[in-house]
Amino acid sequence: MHRQLPTTAQTIDREILTPLARAAIECSTLRLETWQITTLSVQGRRTVFRFAGTGYDGVTARPWSLILKEIKAPESADAPDTDEQSWCYWPRESLLYEAGVPQSLKSGSHHSGLRSPRCFGVMEPTPDLRWIWLEDLQDCYDGDWPLERYALAAYHLGIFNGRYLTGKSMPIASWLTDKGLRSEAVNKAALERLRDPEIWAHTLLRSAFPTPVLPELERLVADRERILAGAAELPRTFCHLDAHSENMAAIKEATHGNESGAEGNSTEDHCTKDHDTEITVLFDWALSGYGAPGEEISRLVWAALLDFKVDIAEAERLEEMVFAGYIQGLTDAGWQADPAQVRYAYLMSSVFIFTLDMEAVDHAFDKDVEGLEKYYGWSQARMVEQSAQVTYLLLERADELRAMLDT
C-alpha cells in the first residue's frame, strides 16, 4: 500500500529539480519532462523519497534519479533532539553535508574503500525543515550480504576511523558530540516496562527466556558508570556511529588498480564489472560524532542479528570476522591498535545500545503479526527466539567487560 505523500514533496517543481538532475547525470543541458515520486521510507519525522524521470539532452532521452531525505524539526522546543549535544540532534546530518564532511571521503574513496553518496544540495525550505538531495544508489547484493561483506565493511570503517587517529583533522562543531553513548546507555527508566511480571508471562517470552534475564539487566544498569569510566582514557576518533548494513550500499566503482578491500574477501561473483573495486557507501550521518575506536562496529554486528539478516548460529563467526576486519583497517590506516582497548569500546557500545532494546518483547506483543512476518520473512516465534538469544549473548559480553575492568 502506498503512503500518501507529504505536501512538501508534492510542491517540488521543475525549477528545483532541473539543476539537481543535471548534476546527478552530469548533463548541463538536460531538459526535464515528467517524473515520478516514490516514498521509500518513513521513520518518525524523517522521510526518504526517490524522484525519477526521463529528460532530454537535445533529442536524446536521458533517465535520471535522485534521493531526497526530508527531515522535520520536533514540534516541541523541549524535545531531546533540539539539544545539539544530544545523540539525536535533529538537523545534524544536514549540517554535516553543508560542512562537506561526508563528501570529504570521496577524494579518498579509492584508497579507503568508503565514501558517502554524492550530495547535490542541502535546502532549508522553512526553519523547521531540511532537504538533503543525494545520489541514488543500489546495493549490488540487494541487501543480502554474505558474512565476508560485513568483514569488508568493517575493514573500510577501520580505515575511516584510523585516518583520524593518524593525522587527519577531525571535524569540529558544537553540534558534534562525544556524549552519544552516554545518552544512549542503559538506565533505570529503560527497565520500568521490563519489571512488569505480566510481560514475562507471555507464552513466546516464557519459551524464549528459560533463564530469567531481569536480574542481569538490573546489574548492568548498576554497573553503568563503572563501565563508562573504564573508557575515559581511550583514544577518540571521528565516527559515523550508525554503521549497519541498512545504512550502507555495496557498489562497484572504477579504480586505478586494486587499491581497496580486505585480502581474502571474494566478492566479485556477486556484482558486475569484475575489473572494478567494491566499495562501501555510507548513508545516514545523523548520529555522527566522536567515539573510541571499536564503537563504530557494534551496530554492524548486532543490527544484522536483530534485523534477521544473519542467523544466530552465525553470530560468533560474524563478530569475529567484523572485529578482525576492523583491526586490519585500523592497521592499514597506519594506527597500531591495542586489540584489548578496541574490544572494550566495541563491547561497551554493544551492551549499552542493544541489551535493553529487548526486541524480543516488542515482537512478542506486536499487534500486526501478519505485517511483522511479511516485513522480515520470519515467523513471529522465530523472531522472538533469535532476539532473546541476542540478549543472552549481550549479557555474556557484559560479563566480559567486567572481567576486563577487573584485570
Q: What is the pLDDT of residues 149-161, one digit of tens each?
A: 999 999 999 999 9
Predicted confidence (pLDDT) at residue 8 exceeds the cutoff of 90? no
**What band does 268 get if pLDDT is binned at 50, 70 and 90?**
very low
Instruction: Name the phi and psi angles at 37, rounded to 5.
Output: -120, 125
Specify the pLDDT at position 127. 93
Q: Which of 106, 107, 2, 91 is nearest to 46 (CA)?
A: 91
Q: Judge contact between 375 and 307, C-beta under 8 A.
A: no
For residue 193, give the C-alpha cell.
516496562
Length of the chain (residues): 407
Q: Residue 313 burial by CB count (10 A; 0-12/13-18/19+): exposed, middle or buried?
A: exposed
Specify the pLDDT at position 183. 64
Spatial CB neighbours of 195, under 8 Å, sequence gap ≥ 6: 214
Residues forming beta bridges with residue 129, ordered by sequence position: 72, 126
For residue 73, give the C-alpha cell.
524539526
Predicted confidence (pLDDT) at residue 112 exceeds the cutoff of 90? no
The C-alpha atoms of residue 37 and residue 274 are separated, in whole angstroms, by: 33
User: What's the whole-number mean pLDDT along residues 231-251?
Assistant: 95
Long-range contact list for 336-344, CB < 8 A, 24+ apart? 337/162, 337/293, 340/404, 341/234, 341/235, 341/292, 341/293, 341/294, 342/292, 342/293, 342/294, 343/294, 343/404, 344/230, 344/231, 344/234, 344/292, 344/294, 344/401, 344/404
- Laid out side by side, the sheet with 114-115 consists of 114-115, 277-282, 248-253
Specify the pLDDT at position 179. 74
For residue 108, give the C-alpha cell.
579518498
Predicted confidence (pLDDT) at residue 263 exceeds the cutoff of 70? no
Q: Which of 323, 139, 360, 97 is nearest to 245 (CA)?
A: 139
Whole-number Cα distances in Å, 204 to 159, 199, 207, 215, 367: 42, 10, 5, 20, 14
Greater pLDDT, 15 or 2: 15
Look up residue 278 and give its DSSP letter: E
pLDDT tens string 120-151: 999 999 999 999 999 999 999 999 999 999 99
**What band does 9 get if pLDDT is binned at 50, 70 and 90?**
low
Lowest mean pLDDT of 99-113, 203-217, 291-305, name the range: 99-113
pLDDT tens string 32-90: 999 999 999 999 999 999 999 999 999 999 999 999 999 999 999 889 889 988 888 99
pTM score above 0.85: yes
The C-alpha atoms of residue 349 and residue 362 are separated, in whole angstroms, by: 21
Cα angle 143, 146, 152 (rounded to 5 degrees) comes to 95
Instruction: Name the phi and psi angles at 77, rounded to 5.
Output: -70, -15
The C-alpha atoms of residue 169 and residue 121 are separated, in whole angstroms, by: 24
Specify the pLDDT at position 185. 61
pLDDT tens string 339-386: 999 999 999 999 999 999 899 999 999 999 999 999 999 999 999 999
Specify the pLDDT at position 203. 97
Lowest mean pLDDT of 101-115, 196-210, 241-255, name the range: 101-115
**What band does 271 get if pLDDT is binned at 50, 70 and 90?**
low
Specify the pLDDT at position 276. 74
Amino acid at 141: Y
Mean pLDDT of the chain: 90
The C-alpha atoms of residue 197 and residue 40 are separated, in whole angstroms, by: 39
DSSP labels, 230-244: TTTTS--EEE-S---
Specify the pLDDT at position 277. 87
**What band does 259 get if pLDDT is binned at 50, 70 and 90?**
very low
Predicted confidence (pLDDT) at residue 116 exceeds the cutoff of 50? yes
The C-alpha atoms of residue 76 and residue 82 are separated, in whole angstroms, by: 8
Specify the pLDDT at position 191. 86
